[in-house]
Amino acid sequence: MDFAQIYLYVLCGAIGSLVLFIVCRISYPKIEPYIRVRVTHFKYSKIKLGGTSLAVTGLKISLLILFLAANGFLLGVGISDLAELEQRAAAIASANLMLVFLGGRTNALADWVQIPLSIYYVGHRWIGVVATCEALLHSALALFRHKKFDALTKSGYVAIGGLVVVVFSAACFRRRCGRFFGLFHLLFSMGALGGLVWHVCLQQDGKARIPIFVSCGLLGGSHLYRWVWMFILGHTAGNVKNLWDDGNIMRLQLGTDKPVSVFPGCYFYLFFTGPLPFYDLFHGYAMMPVWSNPDQYVTGQASDLTFLISRTVGHHRRSLGSIFPDSRLRLDGPYGKDLKLHTFETVVLTAKGLGISGILPFALHLAARKRNDNGLRDKSARLRDSSEPVFGDLSRHVDLIWWLEHDDQDRWVHDQLRSLQEIDNKACWTRSLSQLFANSQKFLVVWCIYPVKRNPERKLPFTSNEFWSRRYNFGFDEFSRELRQEARYPGRTVVVASGEEKFVNMMRDMVVQNTTSKRLIEFADVEYHTQPGGFKSSFYNPPDSQAVLVNSNNPSNSQSTPIEMTEMDISDQHASKVKEFV
């Protein structure tokens, strides 16, 4: 090939690439809305089989199928005999176990790369099951081929038996063991890992030891990192400053020794005193702070955190008797994913029941940042030489809609709603005449949807006006119309849902149904979902015929919801999820 041919190929390739770029540049804006609609359905819609909706979305099931296909391909490609299949199964199982031994609870590495908890926990469960099946295949082939009972075989029995016990105990005894399940699960896992170490140490090939020793390092390192952070680097502990208790809910205000990092949607593991020595070092409950000092919260560093804790549901309730004013509690965190709602022009925050505890921090965060920016701009207009930076959030419309299941649920966040309204008033007030028109509308719109007509003698937790109001008979059909109206505003729209799983699924379905090529809506839910049951109204329990939210349009028929949160932790769980509490 001479230089003339090379030049011709390069020139033709450049011209072809330019033409392809121009075609894509012209056609993509036209097809992009339709692509985003398909992506929305793929990400959010639940898979349905025979009319029954599964608990996984298209994205999750696709990742699972891809993982299973990759394992099947690696097991089968290029296999010539059973001996090679035996070795291949052992190698792939060892590699998968490295991911499993990252831990069943929130892992610092997974949290750092912002892997969603739902995907992380589904992966933890299924990777463990697949790795155990591959280990069983390896054991069966080894027994079939060698048929001798020596030390290597004994160690293999111990290792595979430990893995099987871990898998079946997680599926069958999670609820029966209660709050001690985490300890048992950890002990079973350490036993299985010990059997694996014994097994590979008897192997002549030193390469087989690498993944098992890495698994040991990951399991030990994750616990060591948390303890080092809690006791040496972070000193994340605090004293109880204030307690409010109505028999159903405990509102706990915790003052930390030094400011801790916070962001809306984050959660901490709180460690209570338990029945066993050093119980508070190993068993923590994931809880989301519902409120903090607004001036501190806007900086991302807070030393005053308020939590809502259920007194009626959950294994942690037995430890609440040890909490008194000035009690000392340890905490580990923050964990979670920052949704960055300030990058959306329109934000719709929805909550049902005690799901308000997962939504209120977002409203506080956005309103506090808005107040801060308006204050700095007003100062700059008066002084004309201020160079203090502002956040410059894109958010212009923030709606908070809260469906209460009982008339007295607003007592749990009475003070917080009142403070939020004060922040909202300051966020929309300015002395600058140039900004008067821009701030003529309220930043926050808050609707509290009560199930029955409210007792007129009881005061609302806020001052009722055009933008902050109580409503009745506001079902999900009405909300769907409001959502379409909100999506007409310029810019991006996001809906955030917090509540029990049926409520979150209903909101997800509404986003999917209302997303079109001309109306694009994104959806997000907090890391935890509240669970039904456990709370009874202290004032009035309305009959079914009067409860507006208990109907065919409602995602749930429950009359109450505690603030219990769900997480697939190695402590305290049910099948694929661990129950934790906000």
CA 195 to chain centre: 34
The CA-based angle 375-380-381, given to 5 degrees, is 100
- Cβ atoms of residues 40 and 515 within 8 Å: yes
- pLDDT at res. 576: 32
Dist. CA 400–CA 496, nearest whole Å: 10
> What is this structure's pTM?
0.75
pLDDT digits over 3-47, tens only? 777 777 888 888 888 888 888 888 777 776 677 777 776 777 666
Question: Using CA atoms, how far apart are residues 389 and 382, in angstroms rounded to an integer?
Answer: 16
Q: State the distance between the two ends of the chain, measured CA to CA, in whole angstroms.
A: 70
pLDDT tens by residue, 449-478: 888 776 666 778 888 888 888 888 787 778
Residue 168 corresponds to which tokens in the numbers above?
Answer: 């079946």
Q: Is the dihedral of CA 115, 118, 124, 126 positive or negative?
A: negative
Domain boundaries of the chain, sorted by first residue? 59-230, 235-335, 341-378+391-428+441-525
DSSP secondary structure string for all residues of 272-298: ---SSTTHHHH--EEE-EEEE-HHHHT
- The CATH class of the 341-378+391-428+441-525 domain is alpha beta
Residue 524 has pLDDT above 70, yes or no: yes
The label of the residue with tokens 């892997």 reads 115
Is 341-378+391-428+441-525 in the same CATH topology as 235-335?
A: no
Q: Residue 559: its pLDDT value, please?
A: 33
Question: Facing residues of 243 across strands?
Answer: 252
Q: Are 567 and 576 contacting, i.e. CB atoms less than 8 angstroms apart?
A: no
pLDDT tens string 201-217: 887 777 777 888 888 88
Residue 342 reports pLDDT greater than 70: yes
CATH architecture, domain defined by 235-335: Beta Barrel (2.40)
